Structure 1
Amino acid sequence: MLKSVVGMDYSILRDLLAAGKWKEADEETMRVMLCVGEQEKGGWLREEDIHNFPCEDLRTIDQLWVKYSDAKFGFSVQKNIYQSLGGTRNYDVKIWNAFGEKVGWRKGEHPGGLYYEEISYMEALVKAPDGHLPKSTPSLMWVRVILCLISLFSRVETCQL
């Protein structure tokens, strides 16, 4: 189940998820994605990095989140929610804001429609809405975050997750 095209070790992520350590698992998800995308120093994935992200590695990360959250969390869960709201590869502020509200990321009129700082990891499995995690994004700016997540959902679809 811990397959990787690039030899990434996903055992730490698996163990954190199995233990219900959601915050640490979220941070580990960002770390492994940066490593797989060879962007550890840059600290963010560009759209082209996401476009070329190995499907097998993306599948492994997603399957771990889906398995240990009883299908409540994961990139495929997020992608399905995004698409159910009419989301496509093109950015639409109304759809993006609806997505943020649906997964519990949006609070008020924060720029970009997302407000990560107050997202609670405590009792995430019980209280958080479907698709709430993972939320850590290897990015620096809100516009980049949005474009990267839309690209990620597109990649998840391409990888048939």
Structure 2
Amino acid sequence: MHACSSARINLNFDELLERFITASERQRRTLRKSVEGQVAEVATRIPALLDRFDPRQDDWIPGWLIQLAVNEDPEAIIRLQKSYPEGWLDTPSDAGLDYTTLQIALQLQQFEEADRLTNRALRELAGSAAIQRGYVYYSEVVYIISLDLITLDRLWSVYSLGRFGFTAQRKLLQACNGRWEQLWPRIGWKTNGVWTRYPSAFDWSLEAPEGHMPMINQLRGIRLMDALLKHPAFKEHLGTTN
């Protein structure tokens, strides 16, 4: 009786997961609560569940399942690291950078640390002057390799339900008709005209406003972020001309 009951639970979970994977974006968000209700099953079956997904894509479901598993069972991260020493998501780099530490921080939802690592990676990608200076100047963005910028964006998207990353910020800016003063409060960087204090007042969680992370240095004004969001990498990746 127990074996039959267990098999039925697994079947129900598999059916639910299949529905979740094939659902529309709106349906997925509705089904999330049902998947969360079987978090113990997710934790037990990670990393085997990841075999259903392509690590070269940017679907947020596997990233979220990893976060669920790790939150439920801290030892799940150890099993994942044994199966995927460099992280589950494929993170190619033409600059020779290793994004393993960043991926682990995102899996653990250590978003403040992930933000710090992302800004460090951007400095390394921009060149020695940016490293020595401690920040990227807007005119250096053109030298950032497209593949690495897309890799950083995919990492943030996959481990945030598709809510964070440069692509998310880019789409929100377009929704604001390119008006930066409308974008800042929408992504939680300004409240009542006052800049959100970094990092203490930022919301380092999945509940943060869409586009809240990664943070591009406020002190640099809009030029740096504008250059990043207009980088040719995103036009190529999204297949757009804007």
SS in 1 for 2:230: helix
Asked whether the equivalents of residues 66 and 72 of structure 1 are also in contact (C-alpha less than 8 Å), the reply is: yes
Identity of aligned residues (%): 27
Q: Which has the higher contact order (CA 8 A, sep 6+)?
A: 1
SS in 2 for 1:116: coil
Q: Which runs of 4+ in 1 moved over 6 A?
A: none
Counterpart CA distance in 2 for 1:150 and 1:61 is 17
Question: Cα distance 1:34–1:159, how it changes in 2: closer, same or farther (>3 A)?
Answer: farther
Aligned partner (choices 189, 200, 203) of residue 120 of structure 1? 203
Counterpart CA distance in 2 for 1:50 and 1:99 is 21
Which structure 2 residues correspond to residues 106-145 of structure 1 after superposition, within 5 A? 106-110=190-194, 114-117=195-198, 118-121=201-204, 124-126=205-207, 128-137=208-217, 142=219, 144-145=220-221
Which structure 2 residues correspond to residues 55-70 of structure 1 after superposition, within 5 A? 55-70=146-161
- How many residues were matched structurally? 144
Counterpart CA distance in 1 for 2:221 and 2:124 is 18
Aligned CA-pair RMSD: 1.6
Task: Give unmatched runs, 5+ long, in structure 2.
Answer: 1-89
SS in 1 for 2:104: helix
Larger Rg: 2
Counterpart CA distance in 2 for 1:160 and 1:116 is 32
* Deviations, residues 77-119 of structure 1 (Å, cap 9, x unaligned): 00000011111xxxxxxx2111001111112233xxx323322
User: Which residue matches 1:90?
Assistant: none
Asked whether the equivalents of residues 153 and 165 of structure 2 are also in contact (C-alpha less than 8 Å), the reply is: yes
Asked whether the equivalents of residues 162 and 168 of structure 2 are also in contact (C-alpha less than 8 Å), the reply is: yes
Task: Give unmatched runs, 5+ long, in structure 1.
Answer: 88-94
The residue type paired with residue 3 of structure 1 is P
The residue type paired with residue 197 of structure 2 is Y
State TM-score, norm by structure 1.
Answer: 0.83
Counterpart CA distance in 1 for 2:145 and 2:197 is 27
